[in-house]
Structure 1
Amino acid sequence: MQTLMQDLRFSFRQIKRSPGFMITAVLTLALGVGANTAIFSLLDQALLRSLAVRAPERLVILGNTGKMWDGHFSNHGGGDDKYFSYPMYRDLRDHGTPFEGLIATAPADVGITRDNESKLAHAEIVSGNYFYVLGVRAATGRLLTQADDTIPGANPAAVLSYRYWQSELGADAGIVGQTLSINGHPFDVIGVAAPEFKSAVWGETPDVFVSMSMLEQIVPGKGVRLQDHTDKWMNIVGRLKEGETPEHAQIVMAPLWHALRAQELKALGTKSPRFVDDFLTRSQLEVLPGARGLSYNRDDLEKPLLAVMAMAILVLLIATVNVASLLLVRSAARVREFSLRYALGASAKRVVQQLVLEGLVVGIAGGTAGLLIAPMCVRLLVHRLGPGTTMAFSTSLDHRVLAFNFAIAIGASVLFSLAPTLQLLRPDIVNSLKQQTSTVSGGSLSLRGLIVSLQVGLSVLLLVGSGLFVRTMENLRRVDVGFNTSHLVTFLVDPMLSGVAKEKIPALHQQILEAMAALPGVQAVGATDDPELADTGHQSDATVEGYNAPPDEVFDIEKPSISPGYFHVLQEPVLAGRSFIENDDANHPAVAIVNESFVKHYFSSAAAAIGRRVAYGGGGNKDAQYMTIVGVTRDTKHDNLRDPAVPTVFIPLHQLRKPDQLFLYLRTTTAPEQIFAQVRQAMKQIDAGLAVDQLRTMDDQIDTTLSNERMIELLAISFGLLATVLSGVGLYGVLAYSTAQRTREIGIRIALGSSRLGVSRLVLADVLRLAGVGIVLAIPCSVLLARLLRSQLFGVSSADPLTLASVVVLIGLVAMIAAIVPARRASSVDPTTALRAE
């Protein structure tokens, strides 16, 4: 221990003698460590961390195979195989012997009214045993129990999330026992959930929890779901009994699942053999590990976060190599020092210990500095992920992240300590002690060259990935969505969440449309229940009169309801026939407009589609309500910018389906942001209880759908620039040092008649050799690694020639810039002075 403390004190003295080296090394390492710590914090929360509940390792998620379905399907996100009907949940809960308990959950948007002001909030509709099975405690009051989930409509009890209680209610301890108006219905606040608990669904941050028995009050018109076997809309999470495994539970539950599916199939009536095979024979209940909880968006985040983590690791490696290069320069001046140590009897172990300790001091200092950078990076990344994900992430660094931070800092310090260790472990003692100035061997120069080539190669890998992501983002921004997004404002209104009676909603919708059209600066107004580019959809199959579909053909369509003028406000052209008019209402024949993709599947041309009849639902739907096709519109992007246009059947807003919520679009003649205040004021004049949500421009809406891509682009550009700078610094360092070591050689060359330009060419040849080795080795590797990212790319191949060429040119320019100063110094050497000094 005494020896260790002596070496530690000596390490501090050595570093104190070289403050410039210390500052440069610590800052370089801090950038790499801070970036990795920030991204690991997000990755840990999204992909690794268990739910804050009792014994999360015993939680499981139920899924099912078997793709055929007959009935209604509601997908909140994630895989289609994770959704069940409530009667199926009830049967599994009551007969699931391997489970300590099964819970049901589904999200919903609600309107909460306080002080005569209505705001949209997020609710989680849960089974009564939800908190008990998860093992969640109450921060104050009590939580929902099975007794709060009995007769439909009879249990108006609400539990608040801790975040909502603090942010919206000021942590008012007296809130328990008070009444809260949710969708116009009084609910008794019975308690507040624990601060560490958010939801059984990772990524969801509900404001309030209510029981399944209150479904009709939370989602008006959907109370029938509690009895409907053909309506898949909720998720199931379970807790295994002590000692039970997911694999065994799946085997035990197989007979029950098959029997329940057989009952459902019998209720559906006669079906084709293929339907029976998919629905029953091929279907099985899956019991999957659920310690991390359900998630509607984890799959969307996984690949972007892993890609960004890989880029951050490359940055850390580049920073580590850069510090190793700095240490090599520093150690070259210490050859005589360590030769003297060996001459006086120092062991190789003691020398290695000294060098590793000096590296650890630098590493720990870099890790500490990285902790100052990481929180800022986390906040920036969370903001870039978009408003839908912001509250799911914590920006604070917990003990897991702190441990990761110092683990990679110490690991990096051990790696970069190897470079001087290799150089100083076996010096030429006799020659080193004879020389009056410290020198460096050709082997150490070769080692520095190898390290710089490695640094260039890592930079190429990172720059190629960065270039591909930047090209992807450019391609997405240039996608033709099919309508004009400029000067377009959109927002959501849901009257039922403010307690408006269902029969009054159509008239209220019309009043809102007229009020918006009367606003100054508004050129056109339209509305729909299925918004554009919001990753949402209303899908169904369709029946076209006279079309003989192949057996069990699966051809899903979008079915939005739209107002007259909808195509006009979007500036979406109608290619054939007409658009909807005011007379297309419930008192007139049902009509529809289809898009090009729908026409391509069912008809020979747009003209052939006009006058034909179409209905929602498959061919076996005897109660199908046929609509006459009166127009054909062009294809547009609907869900997102990546997916192709979806076959669509548009219907008038108040024919067949009368939506509760409405997404409005306003085409403005002025800057769209200027009318936000006017919109809110006009809505208050119509009804002060109406909540306006998601008020934004269409361009902002598109940016929201591209939040993951924007995050990757930002980091790709940042990491690419950092890698380029570090590579330039590394190249400059090795050239400057090697040129100084060749002063005598250069002096002789000039004395013998070599031109100044010829000497400069020597330096340029060195830099091209170092950079060229890194480029040649890295380009094939970068192409292979880019193939792993193909799912994140758009409109660009993993071996994009433009990206590869740009990276090579950029690295070449950086190398030439790094060589300018050393080349000038070499060409200005005075041969007389150089030879006299030697």
Structure 2
Amino acid sequence: MQNLRQDLTYALRQLRRSPGFAAVAVMTLALGIGANTAIFSLLDQALLRALPVEHPEQLVVLEGTGKAWEGHSSSHGGDTEAYFSYPMYRDLAAQVSPKVMAGLIGTSPSDFDVTFKNASQIASGEVVSGNYFTLLGARAFKGRLLVASDDTAPGANPVAVVSYNFWQAHLGGDSSLVGQTITLNGHPFQVVGIAAPEFHSAVWGELPALFVPMSMLDQAIPGRGARLTNHKDRWMNILGRMAPGVTTEAAQNSLAPLWHALRAEELKALGKRSQRFTDGFLTNSRLLVLPGAQGFSYQRGGLRTPLLVVMAMALLVLVIASVNVGSLLLVRAAGRVREFSLRSALGANQGRILGQLLLEGLLIGTFGGGVGLLLAPIALRALVRQLAGGDDVSMFSSSLDARVLAFNFAAAVGVSLIFSMAPALQLRKPNLTIALRGSNASASGGMLSLRRVIVCLQIGLSVLLLIASGLFVRTMQKLRAVDPGFDATRLVGFTIAPQLAGYTPDRVAALAKHVEETVGALPGVRSVAVDDSSILQGSSSGGNITLEGYTPAPEEEVDAEKSMINPGFFAAMRIPLLAGRSFSEADSATTPLVAIVNEALAKRYYGSARNAVGKRLADGGSNKPVYDTEIVGVVPDFKQTDLRSAVDPSLFLPLEQIPAMRAPARLYFHVRTALPTAETISALRRAMQQLDPALALDNLRTMDEQIDQSLANDRLTELLAISFGLLATLLAGIGLYGVLAYVTAQRTREIGVRIALGSSRAAISGMVLSDVLKLAGISIAIAIPAALGLARLLKSQLFGVSAADPVTFAVVTILVAFVAIVSALLPARRAANVDPIEALRTE
């Protein structure tokens, strides 16, 4: 301990004697460690952290495979196979063996029109089975949570649990809320409890404001109460808790016979089906039991690859920072050869000397980690705001927990060992004779070669990061250049939820018309589009269709995205007709059913747009379809889900012809205006308030803002990639300058001899430049093949850009060469200005 205390005191003294070196080394590491800490926090929250419930390792997520199905499917994100009908959940939960599963829970998101103390707002919620909180082991902050007795007969238990965040932010944090009544979608619900602050949902990424029992589905999602008995409507997710000691494989094998039996009953209820359908629906269908400690997620799949890519880039930056500090330590060690040789001559063993170097490196790493810990929350808050996309809440937390602090500490210690090894290895066997007589020769051979290797490594890693950055930049350029298929200029959108505001399903179509007329009469408004599906908000809705005269191939599912629109939709969105006609006011509930399809559907099933006009179709899949809908028009493909995805076959139906039982839960309006959009937004707020104060406006923004928000994750990846790439290049440039300055100083005598023998100053400068170009050339030659391989791993994140994009590789090569030359200019100038007389006098 005494030796350690002495070495520590000496190490601190050495750092105080070189404040410039210490500051550069600490800040270099702080940038790398801080960036890694912030990115790791996001990655940990999204991919690694378990739900804050009892024994999360026992949780599982169920998925049901099977290529054939019939009916309707609602996907909120994630794998579509993770959605089940309520009758399937009910039967699985009732018949599963308690020796295998302690229980199953069902959940589905829903929006609520929440009214409390005469104030209304739209809030997200979750419809859950009665055993939801009990099985998860969640606790209440106040009152109680939902129990099985709250989930009995439909409509019999109007109770709700409020989340802690919503209670604090929107309900005033009133401790007397428990026992009071709030209004949800026009129905009174009693608040029975407030969830604990740390619990949000069994679905990661969701921040529901409140929870209601599944038996209240018709009140939670108006008009959807039939889902509780419909085997052909898949809309909810199932999670389970395995019995102690049971593995996921054992649980899956145990549930297989039950799953097969229940599917057989559903197939029997569908009537006679083809062998192909039977094989897809029953024979080849399996119930998968997947680890669920992190819960189910609608968004994790889309975040996994970008977060892993960005984390890998951040780690590369940290490696470059470590190598850079190691390079600085080599320079510093060159000046301390005499010191360590003298200590060795006086009896210090090799372990004591190497321990001193490692301790000094550990101090630098600790200080760098400490400063990085101060920078990480700043960077993390900025990243969370970017990911929130303007919302007031985010799935990510900007606070650092113990796991992140442990990562920060491990990173600091790890990089300390890495960069301390360079001088430690170089000085493990000092040449006492040369060092003690004061010569620098001992530092010029192996140390110089090691520094060259380090610089080549820095340049190579920066090439990898710059190529990744360039590919993401090119991807964003391509995404921004994507034609959505409609005119987004001066287009303002907003959403209303009629049924949540108390409108019965049979009044939704009339309300859509009334709002369209009211908004259309505002000053500057040119036209209004109405749709039941969001545009470029990442969601979609679709189902089976049966086309007259088209025979599906084996294993082929005839599916289409389905939208209900007003007659002026295509005109307002400035989407032209390719064939046939658009909808008109004459297409009413009393006239024959009509439809418009997009070009993708027309070409896929009819060969061309013109061939599709006049054909008939039936909604849904059936052995005995009723072809009651005529295709009257074809429109070009346009982006509906997002800019990345290919356009799927789509079917458009008139809102007026939709039966009340299928009335949409939400209506999306897009207003084409000639006035500045800010004026139109203000006018829309006033007009809707006058029309009906209960109709809360949601997602009120311009289409340009919506497009920008849809690219938020891609833009964040691009920004981080550019930042890491430029930081890596800066570090590589500093490292390259350092080695060239060191080499030039070591070759002062040689340069003096060359000048004395007649070499021109241009030749001397050229010698230094050729040295740097050689180092850069070797680094680039090694890095390019590696970059080609790594770029292929990024292929899923690219859009419109090849993994071997020649523009990116060429620009990166030129940029690295330019940085190398700039780094060499000052050392080259110093070499050219060497005084031969002074140089020959030096050793």
Match for 1:185: what amino acid? H
Provide closer, same or farther for how the CA distance between residues 500 and 656 of structure 1 changes in structure 2, counting only shifts above 3 A.
closer
Match for 2:532: what amino acid? D
Structure 2 residue aligned with 1:713: 718
Residue 273 of structure 1 deviates from its aligned partner by: 0.5
Structure 1 residue aligned with 2:380: 378
Are 2:736 and 1:736 equivalent residues in the alignment?
no
Provide closer, same or farther for how the CA distance between residues 503 and 617 of structure 1 changes in structure 2, counting only shifts above 3 A.
closer
Map residues 41-56 of structure 1 onto 2, 5 A cutoff.
41-56=41-56
Structure 1 residue aligned with 2:537: 534
Map residues 313-332 of structure 1 onto 2, 5 A cutoff.
313-332=315-334
Structure 1 residue aligned with 2:685: 680
Are 2:27 and 1:27 equivalent residues in the alignment?
yes
1:542 and 1:557 in contact (8 A); partners too = yes
1:117 and 1:689 in contact (8 A); partners too = no
Q: Secondary structure at the match of 1:654?
A: helix
Residue 509 of structure 1 deviates from its aligned partner by: 1.5
| Counterpart-to-counterpart distance in 1, 2:734 and 2:555 | 64
Match for 2:797: what amino acid? Q
Q: Which of 573, 586, 591 is 1:570 aligned to?
A: 573
Residue 761 of structure 1 deviates from its aligned partner by: 0.6
Map residues 566-605 of structure 1 onto 2, 5 A cutoff.
566-605=569-608
1:673 and 1:697 in contact (8 A); partners too = no
Q: Secondary structure at the match of 1:560?
A: strand
Moved over 6 A (4+): 436-439
2:518 and 2:687 in contact (8 A); partners too = yes
| Counterpart-to-counterpart distance in 1, 2:471 and 2:439 | 52
Structure 2 residue aligned with 1:432: 435
Are 2:839 and 1:834 equivalent residues in the alignment?
yes
Are 2:705 and 1:700 equivalent residues in the alignment?
yes
Q: Percent identity?
A: 57
1:490 and 1:663 in contact (8 A); partners too = yes
Are 2:466 and 1:463 equivalent residues in the alignment?
yes
Residue 118 of structure 1 deviates from its aligned partner by: 2.1
> Deviation digits for residues 448-495 of structure 1, max 9, x if unmatched?
111011100110111111111111111111112111112211111111
Deviates more, 1:400-409 or 1:231-240: 231-240
Q: Secondary structure at the match of 2:828?
A: helix
Provide closer, same or farther for how the CA distance between residues 5 and 438 of structure 1 changes in structure 2, counting only shifts above 3 A.
farther
Structure 1 unaligned spans of 5+: none
Map residues 680-829 of structure 1 onto 2, 5 A cutoff.
680-829=685-834
Are 2:701 and 1:668 equivalent residues in the alignment?
no
| Counterpart-to-counterpart distance in 1, 2:566 and 2:398 | 43
| Counterpart-to-counterpart distance in 2, 1:279 and 1:135 | 35
Provide closer, same or farther for how the CA distance between residues 660 and 198 of structure 1 changes in structure 2, counting only shifts above 3 A.
closer
Q: Which of 504, 507, 513 is 2:507 aligned to?
A: 504
Match for 1:274: what amino acid? R
| Counterpart-to-counterpart distance in 2, 1:502 and 1:77 | 26
1:37 and 1:374 in contact (8 A); partners too = yes
| Counterpart-to-counterpart distance in 2, 1:287 and 1:331 | 57
Residue 30 of structure 1 deviates from its aligned partner by: 0.5
Structure 1 residue aligned with 2:422: 419
Q: Secondary structure at the match of 1:291?
A: coil
Match for 1:138: what amino acid? A
Match for 1:629: what amino acid? I
Q: Which of 629, 633, 636 is 1:634 aligned to?
A: 636
Structure 2 unaligned spans of 5+: none
Match for 2:671: what amino acid? L
Match for 2:278: what amino acid? V
1:161 and 1:192 in contact (8 A); partners too = yes
Q: Which of 275, 279, 288 is 1:286 aligned to?
A: 288
Match for 2:583: what amino acid? F
> Deviation digits for residues 674-707 of structure 1, max 9, x if unmatched?
3222211111111111111111111221222222
Deviates more, 1:821-830 or 1:552-561: 552-561
| Counterpart-to-counterpart distance in 1, 2:668 and 2:432 | 81
How many residue pairs match? The answer is 837
> Deviation digits for residues 411-462 of structure 1, max 9, x if unmatched?
0011000111122211211111112668622211111111011100110111
Residue 740 of structure 1 deviates from its aligned partner by: 1.3
> Deviation digits for residues 779-825 of structure 1, max 9, x if unmatched?
11111111111111111121111111111100000001001111111
Q: Secondary structure at the match of 2:294?
A: coil
Residue 24 of structure 1 deviates from its aligned partner by: 0.4
Deviates more, 1:502-511 or 1:171-180: 502-511
Match for 1:431: what amino acid? I
| Counterpart-to-counterpart distance in 1, 2:155 and 2:377 | 46
Structure 2 residue aligned with 1:112: 114
2:29 and 2:365 in contact (8 A); partners too = yes
> Deviation digits for residues 321-372 of structure 1, max 9, x if unmatched?
1101111111111111111111111111001100000000000000001111
| Counterpart-to-counterpart distance in 2, 1:837 and 1:280 | 88
Match for 1:490: what amino acid? G
Residue 615 of structure 1 deviates from its aligned partner by: 2.6
| Counterpart-to-counterpart distance in 2, 1:773 and 1:238 | 56
Residue 170 of structure 1 deviates from its aligned partner by: 2.5
Provide closer, same or farther for how the CA distance between residues 115 and 517 of structure 1 changes in structure 2, counting only shifts above 3 A.
farther
Q: Which of 635, 644, 647 is 1:645 aligned to?
A: 647
Provide closer, same or farther for how the CA distance between residues 674 and 767 of structure 1 changes in structure 2, counting only shifts above 3 A.
farther
Structure 2 residue aligned with 1:8: 8
Residue 619 of structure 1 deviates from its aligned partner by: 4.9
> Deviation digits for residues 619-646 of structure 1, max 9, x if unmatched?
5254x36222222111112212122221
2:125 and 2:211 in contact (8 A); partners too = yes
2:642 and 2:710 in contact (8 A); partners too = yes
Map residues 487-498 of structure 1 onto 2, 5 A cutoff.
487-498=490-501
| Counterpart-to-counterpart distance in 1, 2:407 and 2:140 | 32
| Counterpart-to-counterpart distance in 1, 2:302 and 2:828 | 50
Residue 551 of structure 1 deviates from its aligned partner by: 5.0
TM-score using structure 1 length? 0.98
Q: Which of 181, 185, 192 is 1:190 aligned to?
A: 192
Residue 521 of structure 1 deviates from its aligned partner by: 2.7
Deviates more, 1:603-612 or 1:729-738: 603-612
TM-score using structure 2 length? 0.97
Q: Which of 323, 345, 348 is 2:350 aligned to?
A: 348
1:201 and 1:295 in contact (8 A); partners too = yes
| Counterpart-to-counterpart distance in 1, 2:819 and 2:555 | 61
Match for 1:452: what amino acid? V
Residue 150 of structure 1 deviates from its aligned partner by: 0.8
Cα RMSD (Å): 1.5
Residue 546 of structure 1 deviates from its aligned partner by: 3.1
Structure 2 residue aligned with 1:453: 456
Structure 2 residue aligned with 1:368: 370
| Counterpart-to-counterpart distance in 2, 1:552 and 1:764 | 65
Structure 1 residue aligned with 2:398: 395
| Counterpart-to-counterpart distance in 2, 1:583 and 1:458 | 66
Residue 776 of structure 1 deviates from its aligned partner by: 1.1
| Counterpart-to-counterpart distance in 2, 1:40 and 1:213 | 40
Q: Which of 158, 170, 182 is 1:180 aligned to?
A: 182
> Deviation digits for residues 696-739 of structure 1, max 9, x if unmatched?
11122122222221111010111111111111111111111111
Residue 506 of structure 1 deviates from its aligned partner by: 2.2
Q: Secondary structure at the match of 1:559?
A: strand
Provide closer, same or farther for how the CA distance between residues 389 and 45 of structure 1 changes in structure 2, counting only shifts above 3 A.
farther
| Counterpart-to-counterpart distance in 1, 2:539 and 2:440 | 72
| Counterpart-to-counterpart distance in 1, 2:289 and 2:556 | 30
